Structure 1
Amino acid sequence: MSSDMACTKYTTITTENESCNLGQPSLPDQQQQAKLVGNFEKKEKGLKRWFFGIICALFLTTIVGFIGVYAMVSRSTASLQSQLGAVGTFTKLERHNTTCLNGGLFIIESRHYKCLCASGYSGIRCGKDIDECSTGTHNCHEHATCINTVGSFQCSCNANYTGDGRQCRPNFCSTNVGLCQHNGPCSDTSTGYNCSCNIWHSGNHCEQDFNECTGGTHNCHQQATCANTVGSFECSCNANYTGDGRLCKANFCSDNVGLCKHNGTCLDTFTAYNCSCNRFYTGEHCERDINECTSGTHNCHQHATCINTVGSFQCSCNANYTGNGRQCRPNFCSANVGLCKNNGTCLNTSTGYNCSCNIWHSGNHCEQEHDHVIMTTKRNWENARRYCKSIGGDLATWGMRNATVRNWIVTNMIETRPPGYYWIGLNDLEREGVWKYIDGVPVTNANTDFHQGEPNNSGDCGQLYYVQDFAMDDYPCFINKLAICEK
């Protein structure tokens, strides 16, 4: 080929081609050639624009159609691939020696050569078995075992389950006789099994004996002891109780002779016992002596002393009292000779004693002596004097002459209101108008306090008269009046 020619060579799948472009020769007339070339170039540019527009329109139409076809083919290929397995890719030089294995399908996709593998195989030529068990692409049940095979897999239900491997249901109860112990019913569930235990057992397999004693489900009596047994329990009444364990009644009295001391009576109660003590003892077992003296339950007299003894008490009358202690009467007079002075008479009373004094003495023991007494019965002057003499005295004389004594008698002994008339030892019986005291002492202005204008010869006997401020005057001797006796 000549040197002024340019050539290009390319290869296809089956042939090789060459294309050459010729160079342009020299023109003798350069100007003419240039003009022709300019006109040609203008026309060429216009044709190029028109041709380029046509080409672009066709290109765009071709591209859009190609994209749609490519998408449809891709979807078909993907669908087929999913049905047959993995796709292997290799070069065109390998194509002449390629055979897809294990039923793989040879295809061309996107200018590539591929083997579309059947399910269960992968690799460029579909020569590699897929382990569905390890890749997790199997559909065995969760309680089944996956077993890989050449080009596939198998499912086998695990122990205690039954089915085709894709579906497995529990079968624990049938395959495990006695799985639930102590006659507990076995029930297969959706995920395993369940043992329904009787009331005496618990645990997943009813293997645990239920302790009714510690669990509080026994019915032993409160006074009984619960003893757990396999599958049940036993009740036994405690000491001092009797019964079958479910019902226990107290038996303290029979089991414990002499439980109540000092002849106390033992009484069984619903839950224990009670000692009924006699009145001299107390305590749970009548063991404690009651001190009747300090507790105030004795019956000693108020004037007696209580002496506690074991199981009882004694009463002893106090000093100056006599009796059995329950009854005590005063004995002051006999026990105390001379208790009342000045010949006073001693008289026992319900609460003690009393001294009855003679008219000239007073005080608890007649120890106080008096020189004057008031006669309490009205008498005439003669009888009044006779009375005073009968008690060892006479009508008052010296006491009337002594103003201090007379005033004390008036203030403390006689009444200052009617009848305020009192005979005294003063008269003029021996000689009219000559007044003297019965002890022989003559009347003077110094020793006798006659009221003004007295004596007025109205009588012969002297008296004290309250109207005249207990001054002296004369009065008829036959009139009955009270009198003042003097010792």
Structure 2
Amino acid sequence: MQHADLCGTDDYARGPLCLAAMHAGLMDKDGGYFEVFKSEPVSKYEGTIRYSVTSESCFSTSFTYSFQMKCSTKGNSEFSVTDVDCPSGCRSNYVCGTNFYNSNSSVCAAAIHAGVLKENGGTVTFYSDEEQTSYNDSTKNGVSSMSCDPSQTSFSFTRKHHCDRTCQNDGINAEFCYCKGIDQKEDCEIDINECTSGTHNCHQHATCINTVGSFECSCIANYTGNGTHCQPTFCSANDHLCKNNGTCLDTTTGYNCSCEMFYQGEHCEQEIDHVVMTTERNWADSRTYCQSIGGDLAAWGMRNATVRRSIIDNLLRPSLIYWIGLSDIDQEGVWKYVDGVAMTTYNTNFSSGQPDNYGGGQDCAWLYPSLNFQMDDGWCTRYALAICERILI
């Protein structure tokens, strides 16, 4: 079946409505029910063959219609009452006015603004009305409406009717009080708090502020943004968060300090000192000595490759062996540092093939000169020098 005037697919520029509905699969030759919506013109309308109906291709016209409700569908219905099924995700479409909306506004976005529709879509009823003297801007339910030219006709989501009831909290006087947002009761006397009811969209680092029929979002201290999106500003808003020339780095939930060499702690407040023993001892006695001067065998400095290299280059003698705070004394094959941190391939630099427990009993780690001071496992009873590590308060 073909008609010379039928043009388009899904969006139609011209042609008989019933034939277009057959082409869209909404009815057959025996007839049927369908809804028609005015749509925004497109640059080109593609012709196709569907359900034995052929449509032609044509170019942009001033009038377009479709059979599917879209987020962009305007409220310029020719009927006084119109029921529509809004899709999800319409919050960002154009809206002009408050309570009464300019007919060029998106019906679905205006419905979210008015509080009669959620973000996930649904069915709404809107009522065509006459031109208003003004269309005022406002922000409600996460939708910002604009003010605009009053020359256009309007629509609302309440049937226009006079009654004697006094509506509180800016409710609209209709057949019943139509309450702003999700205010409740006959006279809108109860304002539902979106902040406590969980119906707001404020960011996790923002404060929700309840208003009459709506809410506002404000980023908390050390965060900036519009309230629905908040970015951290800890470093720029607070001087000297990181001590001893540490570098402050904002994160999604706060900040971190990147410390200079030989400093550690949340704010780089701890200076780490390294002392090399001048008397050879076994591993256990070396650890006892380090503890006696307020520290322990080196652990943190051995995990940090830059610090470890600095110690090797500046403190160690080239032909001597040095105990460090790493062992598998507690459980064979499970190496950990004396501060409890487990050994990984990223926080050690054992020489190739090490640790190998050669001959058995090699349970303590040392820096071995013939291996370019890479880590090696040794017999804990052997005598060697040691590297002590302590925190200077």
Both structures adopt the same fold (TM-score exceeding 0.5)? no
Higher helix share: 1
Give the number of the structure with larger relative contact order, counting CA–CA contacts within 8 Å between residues 6 or more apart: 2
TM (norm. structure 2) is 0.35
Q: What TM-score results when the alignment is normalised by the length of structure 1?
A: 0.29
Structure showing greater radius of gyration is: 1
